[in-house]
Amino acid sequence: MTKIEITDINAPELDVFARISEAQLYRAYEPDVGIFLAESANVILRALEAGYEPLSMLVETERLDTEAGPVFDMIEKLWGSEKRDSIPVYTARREIVTELTGYTLVRGLWMTLRRKPMVSVEEFCKGKNRITVLFDVVNPTNVGAIIRSAAALGIDGALLTHASVDPLTRRSSRVSMGTVFQIPWTKAGREESEGTNLLRTLQSYGYKTVAMALTEDSVGIDDPEIRKHDKLAIILGTEGTGLPKEVISVSDYRVMIPMHHGVDSLNVAAASAVSFWELSK
């Protein structure tokens, strides 16, 4: 590895870690695919195992021989010693890193990695029987938690509308515990995501669409008729407003999770775990 001790926190090569937004990283760097930040050894290791190429690293000096060690070993295993030695590794004491980033890093390390090209909706759907659709889910914590539940509970992949949060944002990938690198996902284009376009596309691919929504004709999550279908797309809406009315009306099923003690609904991440467990049986 090429260790570079930080002596000037304003050095331009550190912009990617502290002064460039994640949206700018996506658009302004590596224009063909973009780059992203991964935080903590656990998340970084899963990204590397999934084939994302490492570009640079920021590490607290005290973490070089602990959390960072397995990361360097994984890079050598997957990419070879030449790649490991060519990656710039910026190091500094914790207080300096905190001054640079504005807060204490989780487990003391960040890595920038090159994104992979996004696959089309059609390509994504091939061979998948149970998928979830995140319809305009804009909270990165919810996106990360939903994808973690999807990976853990047998869902084949996650399809996001254009307005949904990018699963590779630092917070989403960390909340997901790196499962954003273990389960297939893609984002639909702007036009594909408009109105009911995406649902009608999925229906044309043979999916029965299941809107998680409380309506007069909603059936229980344990309805046996729904589980009998080979291909299901479980549609989740954003926190608070839920799914648009036109999406609910076009869905093949409207499904609710029975509530008790006067509670009207669950957080979308919690609701996703219940629905994935029931509908993947």
CA-closest candidate to residue 137, choices 116, 117, 162: 162
Flag the least confident range among 11-25, 240-254, 255-269: 11-25
**pLDDT (0 to 100) of residue 34:** 87
**Gap between the Cα atoms of 275 and 271, Å rounded:** 6
Place of tokens 């070879």: 80
Question: Would you call 228 exposed, middle or buried from its count of C-beta atoms within 10 A (0-12, 13-18, 19+)?
Answer: exposed
Residue 232 confidence (pLDDT) above 60: yes
**pLDDT (0 to 100) of residue 77:** 94
157-175 pLDDT, tens digit each = 999 999 999 999 989 999 9
Q: Which CATH superfamily is domain 121-279 in?
A: SPOUT methyltransferase, trefoil knot domain (3.40.1280.10)
**Gap between the Cα atoms of 105 and 141, Å rounded:** 17
Flag the least confident range among 10-24, 120-134, 162-176: 10-24
188-222 pLDDT, tens digit each = 999 999 999 999 999 999 999 999 988 888 898 88
Q: Which tokens hold the place of 49? A: 């195992």
Residue 104 confidence (pLDDT) above 60: no
Structural domain boundaries of the chain? 2-114, 121-279
Distance (Å) of CA 64 to CA 21, 112, 202: 26, 17, 47
Backbone angles phi, psi at 155, to 5 degrees: -80, 140
Most confident of 9-13, 179-183, 263-267: 179-183
Flag the least confident range among 9-13, 32-36, 175-179: 9-13
Q: Which tokens hold the place of 92? A: 């500094």
59-89 pLDDT, tens digit each = 988 888 888 999 999 999 999 999 989 999 9
Q: Is the pTM of this model over 0.85?
A: yes
83-103 pLDDT, tens digit each = 989 999 998 887 777 776 665
3-state percent helix, strand, coil for the chain, nearest multiple of 5: 40, 20, 35
Place of tokens 């502290």: 18
The architecture CATH gives domain 2-114: 2-Layer Sandwich (3.30)
Contact present, 145 and 269 (Cβ < 8 Å): yes
Q: Report the run of H or E that residue 113 belongs to, with start and end.
A: strand 109-114
Flag the least confident range among 22-31, 140-149, 226-235, 244-253: 22-31
Question: Would you call 51 exposed, middle or buried from its count of C-beta atoms within 10 A (0-12, 13-18, 19+)?
Answer: exposed
Residue 45, beta-bridge partner list:
none
